[in-house]
Chains A and B, each alone.
Chain A
């Protein structure tokens, strides 16, 4: 059979890598990096996810079809997050026309 058997030493190396990254991300949270704190935390999380997916979940040795399905999943997740945020984060970019305030006030009690 041609299934790929990942050697134990690779599993152990991935495990140690994940532990080191967990210690690193926890440590960095105690240092004030401003907005970079979030970036670093998420970058480390993404790195950890890749380690788990590629080695523990054997995707490094999986056929292209499986990878395509996984990629499609994350692509749809990206659509979900991007389109949701594109609404929420841009609502204040353009103020509603002044003439609407009468409407808002009369219909929803807003002003």
Chain B
């Protein structure tokens, strides 16, 4: 089931169309990657989901029904540009922002106590925000974002500004949130974290969705049908006896081990290639060369840009 859906959303600013008939569906209890180059329209879409701005056209659905103004209580949003009141005390501010999300004061206090202990931030409670380091402020803001246990969480570049240890802490926390039933929209340019975390993605370029689906399917669609393997034995066998549909792309030798890559016809399977190779050489390792999300991102964006410039 879809927790959130946007259908044919259009948003125009005075001189350009920021979103052109954009539709996304975010399945419940998944991590959904919202990807795209700078200026593609991601922030505008995120603001529309948060009901900060309204779309010019199109419809929004939350939990299967039309989105209501009060649904913002079920959303937690960590914007890319973080910010808190600098002169306000950490605890006071956290309680205030939680109350604005609809929590009662007592609930907010109780939950904050739990999270501040968990993240070892208790002694920050009476400090002013400006006394904390940037990373500490980010942590505070993360806690504030998830405090009201929203069904939908929106993280815009959540790892920026975190050191590796805290970034890892955050990553585990995001996975934990998913395990506990939250749905997460995750916007980033960091493709390795997309591969690590996301189940689904939507790729937006120039105000339009140009690619969407499950990571697994996308990678399958963008497979190049190239296999890499290492072997021992006579490289000659490979060069002379490999049958027609298979194409040897590279063949190198390092420390008595040979490395090669072979392109197969798209309908072929792994086992067929193995069957072909086993009589010829002694296989040491074998794997399909799967495109990274980074490759997919660059390929798809460049393709659509080329198409647009021709059109």
A, B bound: no
Please list the residues of chain A having a beta carbon within 8 angstroms of any beta carbon in chain B: none
